[in-house]
Amino acid sequence: MDTGVRIETAASKQLVRMRRFYLAAGAYAACLPVLIAAHYVGLVPLAPMLRLAILMVGANLAFFAIFRSGVNQRAPDPSLTWPQVLVAIAILMYGVYYFDRERGLALMLCLVVLSFGAFRFSTREFFTAAGVVLAGYLVVINVLMWARPTTVNVPIEAYRWLTLALVLPCFAMVGGRISELRRRLRRSNEELNSALRMIQKMATHDALTGLPNRALFNEALVHAIGQAQRHRRSLALFFLDIDRFKNINDTLGHPVGDRVLQEVGQRITVAVRASDMVARLGGDEFVLLVEDFAETPDLGDIAAKILGAFGPSFHVDGQELALSASIGICTFPDDGSDAQTLLSNADIAMYRAKEQGRNRHCFYAAELNKLSQERLALEAALKHALQRDEIEIHYQPKIEFGGGRVTGVEALIRWRHPHLGLLLPDRFVPLAEETGLIVPIGYWTLRRVCERVCKWKEQGISLSVAVNLSASQFHQPELVKELAAILWSTGAPAQALELEITETMVMKDPDRAVAVMEQLRAMGVRLSIDDFGTGHSSLGYLKRFPIDRLKVDRSFVRELPHNGDDAAITGAVIALAHSLKMTVVAEGVEDQQQFDLLRDQGCDEFQGYYCRPPLPEAELMRFLNEERGLFARGARKAERACG
Ligand code: C2E
Ligand code: CA
Ligand code: CA
């Protein structure tokens, strides 16, 4: 493409030169009738007139041949301005030699020749050319005085020469100025053109990745649809979204995010054919237009190739990042007949790919539309859920294995949807995370929990409450300040609050995480690692984290005691936590066998349906009162409290 541009400009430059040549040839052509007229009024004899005419035609033919052959392109000035001017002056000097009666005419023609230099010459070159004319005139007169003295009237020729010597420098000055102005005009014209090209590029391309932007892509898509319609062909649209890109921006900052986007753009471009159009719509959304493909399985191959391009880790600013993407695919005419529908359906399919677990592609199907509409409706309703007081908190007790004592509760949010009823977090927390609504919801939960802690305290119940923190909240710079403000304004003791964070949240940027955790601990808030075992934490860091509790993920408890691997894992986690002076909580304990095994392994506390599911506040109070009653009556075991 680059060489194409170069060839094109070289060709267009040669065209400009040819035009210059024709201009000069035109000037000669204008001189010829003047010459013939001069002969008829008796100023020039026939033979010199013919010779002059032949010289003019001959010179032009020679120059024409040179320009056409392209030999001129090797010259320092491929327009051959100097050779042209010198040859013209020489021919005119030959004329001066024979214009016995009217040498002034030939000299006037000299001015015409020089004026052509105005298109090319600098003032200095004009002076040189003027000098050549004056010198030539001097030589011709001297030769005439020697060869044909009768034809020379010395005072008149001296007068002419002096007049020329006065006029030519002025002419050179004016000519030089004109040519300078022309050059400036051309330069600003070029600048204007390149600015115009840049504006055009900016309007149609994404500044970060250099890929076509939404506007250009839409235009191309509309055009491609028209073509496909006319030729009864299909086309495919891929919609790609980087998985969890928001996390990268939030944790590593926007400059890193930008570099990732650039790299992603490159990788996609390399993975697809040159004829397929890749564009960035904005954010972390990329699209691909595939105009010719044989059958649908081909599209799956293309998607696999793109996802494969995400395989090697990304290296940005010394960080190694593992990334993946989700792709939605739809085709014309099956899944939509206009650009807008196709884009929206590919987007819907992309969401489906995310829901199915990310790092995959998904083809659009009409049923997805319904799902997506539900999702949009849910998203819209979630925006108002807080103001409309639809979010509630349920509390699940944590029980000590040894004494059956309730050591605290975990706050788990629910959404009482006006039409859909009580929704569990898996229906709306991922949505809240994607839309950022999880941050206000998270702060609301913290405040509500703190208020409850105070209220219960007044009722004589001192209970510690564990609250789940979302990744975006944990990475908010204001977290510590906001939490301090909530504790201060509600008057809740920090010791009553425990924050649950996951391994993945802290391992993104462990040094920063340690700093935040230490600030939280300094306030008196306790910390636990949730879903332990499902992320990847480094043991080295685990030692550095100021953590009070590890919560063994439910997935390791589910198949206990039959699954030997899981039993080995829970045993090892319990031993590890104890060696790090942490308490261990087993999640999702549902039956007596699980309970027994974990107790025998030395686990400290458990949560699960074996005791109670998450309870609304009133039920929690009832449970706690019963439990207090049991203790008062000397009940010993958790089996009794929970059974
Ligand atoms: P999680 O933090 O791991 O919460 C424990 C989940 O296990 C809860 O699901 C709880 O109801 C469930 N569970 C407890 N015992 C048992 C059991 O014996 N068997 C089974 N099968 N499940 C049990 P839930 O309430 O649906 O919450 C799901 C997830 O939603 C939570 O997982 C947590 O990650 C998230 N979540 C809940 N509340 C909040 C919140 O306020 N903020 C944030 N950011 N996330 C929350
Ligand atoms: Ca939790
Ligand atoms: Ca958990």
Strands, E assignment, 176-303: 235-242, 277-282, 285-290
Cα 517 to Cα 484: distance, rounded to the nearest angstrom: 14
* Centre of ligand 2 from the C-alpha of residue 315, in Å: 32
As beta bridge partners, residue 399 has 406, 606
Atom of ligand 1 nearest to the CA of 614: 11
| Strands 277-282 vs 285-290: parallel, antiparallel or unpaired | antiparallel
Distances (CA, A) of 313 to 261, 264, 464: 14, 11, 42
Atom of ligand 1 nearest to the CA of 413: 38
Cα 287 to Cα 330: distance, rounded to the nearest angstrom: 11
Q: Does residue 121 come out as left (phi exceeding 0), alpha (psi in the -120 to 50 range) or beta?
A: beta
What are the mean pLDDT values of the chain's consecutive 10-residue runs (643 residues total)? Answer: 48 84 84 83 83 90 91 85 87 81 71 67 84 90 89 86 86 83 91 91 92 95 95 94 87 89 96 94 95 80 95 87 93 93 94 89 85 83 92 96 91 95 93 90 97 94 95 91 96 96 84 93 95 75 88 93 93 93 96 95 96 95 80 47 56
Q: Which residues have CB under 8 Å from 180's CB, separation 6+?
A: 122, 123
* Centre of ligand 2 from the C-alpha of residue 410, in Å: 7
Cβ atoms of residues 406 and 624 within 8 Å: yes
Q: What is the pLDDT, as a whole number, of residue 631?
A: 47
Q: Which of 413, 426, 468, when mutated, tests ligand 1's pocket best, judged by the most ligand atoms within 8 Å of its CB?
A: 468
Q: Does residue 241 come out as left (phi exceeding 0), alpha (psi in the -120 to 50 range) or beta?
A: beta
Cα 299 to Cα 307: distance, rounded to the nearest angstrom: 12
The answer to whether the CB of 594 is under 6 A from ligand 1 is: no
- Of the ligands numbered here, which is closest to the C-alpha atom of 444? 1
* Centre of ligand 3 from the C-alpha of residue 241, in Å: 28
Q: What is the pLDDT, as a whole number, of residue 111?
A: 72
Cβ atoms of residues 584 and 577 within 8 Å: yes
The answer to whether the CB of 608 is under 6 A from ligand 1 is: yes
pTM of the full structure: 0.57
Question: Which residues lie at CB < 5 A from ion ligand 3?
Answer: 530-531, 587
Tracing tokens 């650039």 back to the chain, one arrives at: 262
Q: What is the pLDDT, as a whole number, of residue 643?
A: 53
Nearest CA to ligand 1 atom 29: 425
The answer to whether the CB of 445 is under 6 A from ligand 1 is: yes
* Centre of ligand 2 from the C-alpha of residue 276, in Å: 45
* Centre of ligand 1 from the C-alpha of residue 178, in Å: 83
Q: What is the pLDDT, as a whole number, of residue 626?
A: 84
The answer to whether the CB of 530 is under 6 A from ligand 1 is: yes
The answer to whether the CB of 81 is under 6 A from ligand 1 is: no
CA 395, chain centre distance (Å): 44
Cα 548 to Cα 563: distance, rounded to the nearest angstrom: 28
Cα 555 to Cα 569: distance, rounded to the nearest angstrom: 11
